[in-house]
Amino acid sequence: LPDRSQSVLLANTNWKAVAINPSTPVNFPASMTVSNLFIEGSTNTENTLLLNNFGTAVPFTVSGAVLLQNSARILNFNSGLVLQGAAIEITNSDIIQDGGFIIATNGGVTLSGSQYYLSNGVFEASIVELGFPVPSRLNQYGGTVKIANVGLGTYVTGTNDNGISLYGGMLELPGGMYMVDGHPGLSYFQSGGTNYTADITLEPAYGGGDPSFTLNGGLLVDSNVLVYGGPTINQNGGMHVANSLSIDGESIHGETPLPSTYNLNAGTLSAVSVSLNSENGPGVFNQSNGIAYV
């Protein structure tokens, strides 16, 4: 069994799930902390670390680096995982969490070409970068996610496959969402749950596409929203509570002036102020249904 001085590697051939079961923290508590964790798929192989319902009293702890790549997976079922290292790299791999917690508040988590699925439990991180450089997605169906600072962007063309999807649960983004799209495909989608965030900024990058922002249901609470130089927010339901909403048309990098738009098709928008700035391009607010309190 490993101990805190050793690294764990799951990288050999043949499909497998290496499990930490409920008996492990009881009978072998010293093996619940390791130095580094490396999981990689081999030829026609998917390697999985299975956190199998061992609870959260004695979490599995990685004190150093974590690297998942090429068809690696972590499955967390009602178990605790603490990632203490400064670098957590997830490339072409998946994390699936149903219950328990995953805590990574000492360093940054980078997802590239990867998916994070949370149906229940807690995920807390200081920094999460999605889509650097390959599109990745955080999919939340329940539970609680708190990310102090989230980076959203992609350098490789995708189709609405990079960003955040919220279907249920609680999402907290105290650092806000700064969405600058280097290529088409960066999006935020919400059809349920609650998102408490700070400032939200949407703008195209040089030579890139417009980020997509859709609210179909649930509650979105934010401080200040800026839509700048072309993007559109579509609200088709739910409730959006904002301090200020600024819709600014703009000519980005000397290009043709582009309209910025907020479409209220259904649901409720409640904002202290709404600013439509068309000095350098159209700033548009369309209401076809729903309720707007300004």
One digit per residue, the tens of pLDDT, for the chain of length 294 reads 899 999 999 999 999 999 999 999 999 999 999 999 999 998 889 999 999 999 999 999 999 999 999 999 999 999 999 999 988 999 999 999 999 999 999 989 999 999 999 999 999 999 999 988 888 999 999 999 999 999 987 666 555 578 999 999 999 999 999 998 656 678 999 999 999 999 999 988 666 678 899 999 999 999 999 998 889 999 999 999 999 999 998 776 666 778 899 999 999 999 999 999 888 888 999 999 999 999
In angstroms, the CA 280 to CA 291 distance is 29
What is the Cβ-side half-sphere exposure of residue 34, based on CA atoms within 13 angstroms? 17
Q: Is the peptide bond before 184 cis (omega within 30 degrees of 0)?
A: no
C-alpha torsion 201→207→210→211, nearest 10:
-60
pLDDT of residue 156: 63
In angstroms, the CA 113 to CA 205 distance is 20
In angstroms, the CA 59 to CA 186 distance is 34
pLDDT of residue 148: 97
Cβ neighbours for 3, distance < 8 A, ≥ 6 positions apart? 30, 31, 33, 34
In this prediction the pTM is: 0.94
Look up residue 250 and give its DSSP letter: B
Strands, E assignment, 205-259 = 212-228, 232-248
For residue 154, what are its two tokens? 């992609």
What is the Cβ-side half-sphere exposure of residue 131, based on CA atoms within 13 angstroms? 29
Query: Is the four-CA dihedral 228, 165, 72, 150 of positive or negative sign?
Result: positive
pLDDT of residue 207: 60
Single-letter code of the amino acid located at 87: A
**Closest Cα to residue 275, out of 212, 226, 215?**
226
C-alpha torsion 8→85→55→38, nearest 10:
-20
